[in-house]
Structure 1
Amino acid sequence: MDLKELPANVRDDKISEETKSLISSLPSSLPSHADSQGMKLCKYQGCWYYPNTLQGVINFQRGFQPQDTDIILASFPKSGTTWLKALTVALFERSNNHSSSDDQHHPLLSDNPHGIVPFLETDMFHESSSPDLAKFSSFPRLFSTHMPFHTLHETLKGSPCKIVYMCRDVKDTLISWWFFRSAIQKIEPDRSMLESLFKSFCNGTMYYGPFWEHVLSYWRGSLEDPKHVLFMRYEKMKAKPYDQIKRLADFLGCPFTKEEEENGSVDGILEFCSLRNLSSLEVNQTRKKKTMDHKNYFRKGEVGDWKNYLTPEMENKIDMIIQERLQGSGLKF
């Protein structure tokens, strides 16, 4: 695969000399799932990044100026990020009088959720610590991130902006990551990659890992500051979507009115943002986000799909690790 075809967050072609010097002093690891590209991960502030992602993190920490009304959607990779973005966009579009059936004006009909709500470290601040944010002239500004809470929080400087974190069962996250990585490399998912990813997960050296540290950072943040950090569970969203989207709307300061509930607005947004509907939209069938086909962001979205792929031994090892790492936190899977 040519370097230019690699995702921008994986390549190391746009890293400053200062960051290269920093990287040389950081712990590094060549993940067992190095996907034949040989790209190393480096550990910064307790989290593993590819070099270009780290450059974006550093640029963000240096240059981001939060506004009080900002909303940041956070998650570990492959934890329901696309769905959370779509729901949030749809919630705020109500104030613009854009219904889910508005063929001309609803942004989700003309762009993928990741194009509408960009990642701070891999989109906005990927190349500069002072990107042009002029297009975010409306309020609130919507951003997203996979950075752990402590790295994000350090830059917010006491800002009252709100953070929503989507947490997903670790085993389903692992399987979703496996299929996604295969799609990036344009190969069929094979057991050897799954086993390599599993190994990297268990020792914590996977992209944005360790998983347990990532989840715990936001869990603790939500306990310490529930007015500004909302911790959501993917499984609860799937089981009780009506209740959970109302919870999300309340937290974001755009609650549903009684009239909206009675006229089916809640159900309309849930249907419009469903995996079935989003994946069938023309924009997600034929277009790309940089080098990534939009359709690769949509697969099954099911709870418990891991049972079709993980061995009992894998399941038990993950359960033991998570139980040990989350012990005493109050967070359970």
Structure 2
Amino acid sequence: MSVVSFKDAGGDHITFLQVDGALYPNVGGIEQANEIRASVNAKARRDDIILSLATTIPDFKENHMVELITSNHMAAIPSPRVINSHMKFSQLPRDMIEKQSKIVLILRNPKDVAVSFYHHHTGIINVYHYKGKWENYLSLFNNGKVDWGSFYDYVHSWEKTIHDNPTHPIHVLFYEDMKADSAAEVRRLAHFMGVSLSEDLIEAIAEKCSFHNMVNDKVGLEDEKQKKLWRDEKPQMYRKGEIGDWKNWFTVAQNEEFDRIYAERMANSKLKFRFTL
């Protein structure tokens, strides 16, 4: 375990906790590192649901995240548990893999992910200690110097997992699809979960999960400990949630370079991301 720092293209530093080669937000130091290593031994339950959130926006207000809670905390969560994680399949608790806990993998296009990460890293100032500018930040993202490492390595690892474990129940959701037709994605998810929902309930769930409702959810963010992590003690977990907001941030040169890297890194991938709607 070590605390590591990386410089962006302008010389500003960003700080992470590094555990066994993987990068995490440093919210607990050595105790957090010990819990991350111990998490592989956590016990699964038959009705567990694992919400795997790619490298989007790490959700610090969520208190059921494998890499941010203690083993005792996880064990105390009542069933049915919905457990969040940004970990790769191989890093999840072994018992969850052996018992084939259902996994919902949520993916988002990497350009919007990069912009979201930038605001996340500059917002949670007392975790990342990052004060850099967007014009210098993108090199960090492109080189995997962000939480949980390279976006491309992450999605490739899940593609390989799905290919190598055809009997493990893994459901893939794209954020863009949820924005485009939330009700349709709720239906797909319900089918995966093996539950029957009325159309009225499907519409109600879609509305409850809409971005404008989520952005008004302040549960957990009013905690004084949480506030102290954020710039000016003003937590902002959800920003815009728009598809294609990257266009307001990427310069022409940045976009061309990103497209070159994307084409190279995703050449053998079957995943198709939508960068606009």
What is the TM-score when the length of structure 2 is the normalising length?
Answer: 0.80
Q: Give the Å deviation of 1:44.
A: 3.0
1:1-20 alignment, distance < 5 Å: 20=1
Retained in 2: the 8 A contact 1:227–1:251? no
Please list the CA deviations of residues 1-23 of structure 1 after superposition, one character each: whole Å capped at 9, or x if unmatched.
xxxxxxxxxxxxxxxxxxx4xx5
Structure number having the greater helix percentage: 1
Name the CA distance, whole Å, in 1 between partners of 2:66 and 2:270: 29
User: Which one of 62, 68, 83 corresponds to residue 114 of structure 1?
Assistant: 62
Task: Please list every run of 5 or more consecutive structure 1 residues that lacks an aligned counterpart in the other structure.
Answer: 1-19, 83-111
Please list the CA deviations of residues 165-203 of structure 1 after superposition, one character each: whole Å capped at 9, or x if unmatched.
1100101011111112222128xxx99432343111122
Name the CA distance, whole Å, in 2 between partners of 1:208 and 1:289: 26
User: Which one of 25, 28, 39 corresponds to residue 60 of structure 1?
Assistant: 39
Q: Give the Å deviation of 1:317.
A: 1.7
Q: Give the Å deviation of 1:314.
A: 1.3
1:102-181 alignment, distance < 5 Å: 114-115=62-63, 118-122=64-68, 124-125=69-70, 130-133=71-74, 135-138=76-79, 140-152=80-92, 154=94, 156-181=96-121
Retained in 2: the 8 A contact 1:222–1:230? no
- Relative distance call for 1:289 and 1:327 in structure 2 (3 A) is farther
Q: Does structure 1 residue 287 correspond to structure 2 residue 263?
A: no
Q: Secondary structure at the match of 1:301?
A: coil
Name the CA distance, whole Å, in 1 between partners of 2:238 and 2:14: 27
Name the CA distance, whole Å, in 2 between partners of 1:243 and 1:169: 19
1:104 maps to none
Please list the CA deviations of residues 314-333 of structure 1 after superposition, one character each: whole Å capped at 9, or x if unmatched.
11222222221222221233
User: One-letter code of the match for 1:291?
Assistant: Q
Deviates more, 1:214-223 or 1:168-177: 214-223
Retained in 2: the 8 A contact 1:160–1:228? yes
Computing the radius of gyration over CA atoms, which structure comes out larger, 1 or 2? 1
Name the CA distance, whole Å, in 2 between partners of 1:312 and 1:201: 17
1:276-315 alignment, distance < 5 Å: 276-281=212-217, 283=219, 287-288=222-223, 290-292=225-227, 296-315=236-255
1:73 maps to 51
Name the CA distance, whole Å, in 1 between partners of 2:14 and 2:254: 25
1:44 maps to 20
- Relative distance call for 1:248 and 1:289 in structure 2 (3 A) is farther
Q: Does structure 1 residue 322 correspond to structure 2 residue 262?
A: yes
Retained in 1: the 8 A contact 2:23–2:147? yes
User: One-letter code of the match for 1:270?
Assistant: A
Q: Give the Å deviation of 1:295.
A: 5.1
Retained in 1: the 8 A contact 2:39–2:93? no
User: One-letter code of the match for 1:246?
Assistant: R
Please list the CA deviations of residues 57-98 of structure 1 after superposition, one character each: whole Å capped at 9, or x if unmatched.
21212x31112221110113435x76xxxxxxxxxxxxxxxx
Name the CA distance, whole Å, in 2 between partners of 1:213 and 1:146: 13
Name the CA distance, whole Å, in 2 between partners of 1:252 and 1:166: 15
Name the CA distance, whole Å, in 2 between partners of 1:304 and 1:191: 24
Task: Please list every run of 5 or more consecutive structure 2 residues that lacks an aligned counterpart in the other structure.
Answer: none
Please list the CA deviations of residues 229-253 of structure 1 after superposition, one character each: whole Å capped at 9, or x if unmatched.
1111111111121111111121122
User: One-letter code of the match for 1:30?
Assistant: S
1:251-270 alignment, distance < 5 Å: 251-256=192-197, 260-261=198-199, 264-270=200-206
1:225 maps to 166
Q: Percent identity?
A: 26
Q: Does structure 1 residue 238 correspond to structure 2 residue 155?
A: no
Deviates more, 1:223-232 or 1:196-205: 223-232
Q: Secondary structure at the match of 1:73?
A: strand
Retained in 1: the 8 A contact 2:12–2:132? no
User: One-letter code of the match for 1:278?
Assistant: M
Q: Secondary structure at the match of 2:176?
A: helix
Please list the CA deviations of residues 277-304 of structure 1 after superposition, one character each: whole Å capped at 9, or x if unmatched.
23234647x7238425795112110000
Aligned length: 259
Retained in 1: the 8 A contact 2:122–2:131? no
Across the aligned residues of Structure 1 and Structure 2, the Cα RMSD in angstroms comes to: 3.2
User: Which one of 208, 211, 217 corresponds to residue 275 of structure 1?
Assistant: 211
Q: Secondary structure at the match of 1:58?
A: helix
